[in-house]
Amino acid sequence: MQTLDTLTPFLGEIQARGDEIEAACRIPADLAQNMAGAGLYRLLVPKQLGGLEVHPQTFFDTLMAAAQADSAVGWCLMIGTTTGLMSASLPEQWANTIYADNPNVITVGVTAPIGTAQPGRDDSGAEGLLVNGRWPFGSGSQNADWICGGCTLMDQGKPRLNQAGSPINALIFFPADTVTIHDTTWDTSGLRGTGSHDIEVTNEWVPEGRWVVLGGRPRVDTPLYRFPTLGLLALGVSAVAMGIAACAMEEFMHLAAAKTPTGASRTLANRGAVQREVAVAQAKLESAHALTRAYIQQAWHEAEQAGRMSMDTKAKLRLAATNNAWNAAAVVDSLYHAAGGTAIYRQSKLQRCFRDVHVATQHIMVAQPTYEVIGKVALGLDPKQPL
């Protein structure tokens, strides 16, 4: 894997603090800040803004390694790095203010255009937007400096439309201290440590340009920013799922070598059925990772050679991501069941892997309906065609 060397020194601490993260329903502030100081939240920020602008494969592998150490840390890092991708699309003034002027900045957000943004002026008469919205799934917001929310741009109470007649949606940046975090809303079965509470703004005035119109061309034109934003997000979500599965595999290997089931004379590792499960799990993970590498490399080549990525290539990136997530869930399920009663106890990492991976698969970027859209592209149909 092409994991960043800067992540390696944190892996031991991340693993050691897993119970703390789970109990607190958040990443410890000191850990998040130290990771930010090492540049780990700037994987997708342009080099011209002081970011790392890494290859998508490095992005994927780094998130997978972080999630293998702790799923919540991997998830929050995924949200932070993909939000940082927006720095390539912000107007230069705001890109510098938010990212270049603060090398340790953490930005997170929710892309879904649930909020509304009306034209408005502040007390001095400066133009901007007046924003209202409440967004679920505000992962990592407790440690953020800036928090984003997706909004529909409005004019006189009606959605502003683009040339195709569709509403114009934007991702709007708010200073963290202007956002209300409803910190009792994230009560879930898995990924509890992500602290993905609801976030809200009420009549918040935003100055001109402190937003990104979703679906527009990035201001920075290098290969990374020719990748589809949603494709990178989907790969990131799936990298976390793959990391969870790798954690389950590691935990099961230790258990299989040590556990002799009640009434048996041999360890789990010496059982034929267990050996089969391990081999199948290994094949699922390694084949999924190989497919991901192949499709990322194909997309990277296209991004280097062309200004836009083809629909087929975009579909393949989404296929790799969705395949990753569901193979990861299948691997965790099989190892959880093969472990027997040991897996149900809180001290077993397998029970947390089981809970966490099934939250990851519910993300819209890798959910089962994604296969239908990918299948339409493969069949030569319009992916936006209604069912």
In terms of domains, do 117 and 248 share one? no
In terms of domains, do 76 and 151 share one? no
- CB-CB contact of 121 with 127 (8 Å): yes
**Would residue 350 count as lying in a domain?**
yes
Ranges of the chain with pLDDT below 50: none
The DSSP result for 182-200, as a single string, is ETT----SS-GGG--EEEE
In terms of domains, do 194 and 231 share one? no
Between helices 71-84 and 229-258, what is the axis angle to 10°?
Answer: 170
In terms of domains, do 233 and 173 share one? no
CATH code of the domain containing 71? 1.10.540.10
Q: Fill in the DSSP letter of residue 223.
A: G
In terms of domains, do 269 and 162 share one? no
- CB-CB contact of 330 with 282 (8 Å): no
In terms of domains, do 195 and 241 share one? no
- CB-CB contact of 9 with 40 (8 Å): no
Task: Say what the pLDDT of residue 1 is.
Answer: 65
**Would residue 184 count as lying in a domain?**
yes
Specify the DSSP element, H or E, that contains 240.
Answer: helix 229-258
% of residues, the chain, pLDDT over 90: 91
In terms of domains, do 81 and 160 share one? no
Nearest in space to 362 (alpha carbons), one of 183, 186, 237, 229: 237
CATH code of the domain containing 365? 1.20.140.10
**Would residue 168 count as lying in a domain?**
yes
In terms of domains, do 191 and 248 share one? no
Task: Say what the pLDDT of residue 387 is.
Answer: 54
Amino acid identity of residue 316, one-letter, is K
Rounded to whole angstroms, how far apart are CA atoms 202 and 116?
A: 10
Give the Cα-Cα-Cα angle 345, 283, 348 (nearest 5 degrees): 10
In terms of domains, do 364 and 245 share one? yes
**Would residue 383 count as lying in a domain?**
no
**Would residue 31 count as lying in a domain?**
yes
Provide the number of structural domains found in the chain. 3
From 151, 184, 213, the end of a domain falls on 213
In terms of domains, do 205 and 231 share one? no
Rounded to whole angstroms, how far apart are CA atoms 39 and 7?
A: 9
In terms of domains, do 238 and 373 share one? yes
**Would residue 95 count as lying in a domain?**
no
Rounded to whole angstroms, how far apart are CA atoms 178 and 297?
A: 41
Find the domain containing 235 and state its range: 227-378
- pTM of the entire structure? 0.96
Per-residue b or e along 246-284, where b marks 16 or more CB atoms closer than 10 Å to that residue's CB: bbbbebbeebbeebeeeeeeeebbeeeebeebbeebeeb
